[in-house]
Amino acid sequence: MSTPVVIVVGAGVVGCAIAAKLARRDCRVTVLDRLATGAEASSAAAGILGAGAECGRPGPLYDLCKHSMDLWSDFATSLRQRVGFGFGWETCGAIEIAKDNDTALALQAKGEQLAVADPGRAPRWHDARELRVRVPELADDIRGGLLHPGDGQVEPALLTKALAIDAVRCGARLQTGRVVRGLLVQHGRITGVACDGDTLPADVVVVATGAWSQTLFGGLRTRTLVRPQRGQLAEIEMQVPPMRPVLTWQGGYAVPRRDGRVVIGATSEDAGFDKRVTAGGLLHLLAMATSVVPALAGGDLRGHWAGLRPMAADGLPLLGPHPQVEGLFVATGHHRNGILLAPATAQLVAQSVLQAETSLDLSPFLPG
């Protein structure tokens, strides 16, 4: 296929990254979203790039996260040059905090395992005293922490905006306020999508509709189900940034921006498509975060919001061609790591759309 007509459904970080990549390869790309660019999970996210801290267990997800981390530097540098503004990308490191002795032992074992599996990215264990030298703001009862020096952060809403701008500058058409109601399939081949009121033809359709993906699959078989998982976050503003690295702990994290804002998260709730923020959610976030960094209690509470993570039941994103429908591609189920995985997703899905060899084996992630 020379220059395919491609429809990407969903203008979150995943859809925009794929659209930008394909538009740069001369595909005729249209991105459709029922809302605005990055209106859902992609702007709700904290923006941790945590291959080590968030998914550092050997296996296909870790391999995909590592692959994406390796792409981040070039991805961010060239995107920033093309759009002319930054989106807070930095390799600030992340520390997994141990609040008790059992967690300290488990983290030390994890560090040793990763050092063997991936010596180039070996994390470093810090006992309580060493850790307090690095992060003096930590609570007195913290037992230690595992530093992943290669982890980082980005501002997800700005990143998604940059990707959308990049896609449009490369020739993609972006149509917001367009609800896609279904996929059009004839004789086992995709022919387009049905929107409210009309149909749009396409050679290739990429489903990147996050937590809403399952509704578009209709009767198609998929490897695993994708459902929403609510996450609540809050933002506290400090006069001075309280620490540099991202801090994570069992069930939570604090992401310090350079200007003194600290994003604290996150709940993991099975609440269907209900995106409400709750008093209990906020209470939980504040209690957890101030138990690790007590000084956060003195900051200004600036915001509290929620988003829906696209959670695949088997824990792996769905990436690549759908086996039942020629021309149908899937990029969803990124759960807690869709921001981290944006560069790899764009690369691998674009390669499979263009029928090129993929840079990483996609077989664990194939959608059907």
* Interface residues toward ligand FAD, by CB under 6 A: 9-15, 32-35, 39-42, 44-48, 179-180, 208-212, 216, 231, 233, 265-266, 307-310, 332, 334-340
Q: Packing angle between helix 156-169 and helix 13-24, nearest 10 degrees?
A: 30
User: Whole-number minimum distance, CB 103 to ligand FAD, in Å?
Assistant: 20
Closest to ligand FAD by CB, 105 vs 283, is 283
- Length, in residues, of the chain: 368
Closest to ligand FAD by CB, 104 vs 147, is 147
User: Whole-number minimum distance, CB 229 to ligand FAD, in Å?
Assistant: 8
User: Whole-number minimum distance, CB 218 to ligand FAD, in Å?
Assistant: 12
User: Whole-number minimum distance, CB 263 to ligand FAD, in Å?
Assistant: 8
Nearest in space to 302 (alpha carbons), one of 233, 231, 234, 232: 234
Residue carrying structure tokens 């049905």: 194
Q: Are 32 and 9 in contact (CB under 8 A)?
A: yes
User: Whole-number minimum distance, CB 335 to ligand FAD, in Å?
Assistant: 6
Which amino acid is located at 188 in the chain? Answer: G
User: Whole-number minimum distance, CB 328 to ligand FAD, in Å?
Assistant: 15
Closest to ligand FAD by CB, 104 vs 159, is 159
DSSP lists the bridge partners of residue 215 as none
- CB neighbour class for 28 (10 Å; exposed up to 12, middle 13-18, buried from 19): middle
Q: Are 15 and 8 in contact (CB under 8 A)?
A: yes
Closest to ligand FAD by CB, 53 vs 83, is 53
Closest to ligand FAD by CB, 180 vs 238, is 180
CB-based burial, 260-297: b 16+ in 10 Å, e otherwise: ebbbbbbbebebeeebebbeebbebbbebbbbbbebbe
**260 vs 243: CA distance, rounded Å:** 9
Closest to ligand FAD by CB, 211 vs 353, is 211
**299 vs 260: CA distance, rounded Å:** 10
Closest to ligand FAD by CB, 88 vs 125, is 88
Nearest in space to 69 (alpha carbons), one of 339, 334, 258: 339
69: left (phi over 0), alpha (psi -120 to 50) or beta: alpha
User: Whole-number minimum distance, CB 85 to ligand FAD, in Å?
Assistant: 20
Which amino acid is located at 16 in the chain? Answer: C
Quick one: DSSP state of residue 121?
G
Nearest in space to 206 (alpha carbons), one of 25, 350, 20: 350
Closest to ligand FAD by CB, 180 vs 325, is 180
User: Whole-number minimum distance, CB 193 to ligand FAD, in Å?
Assistant: 8
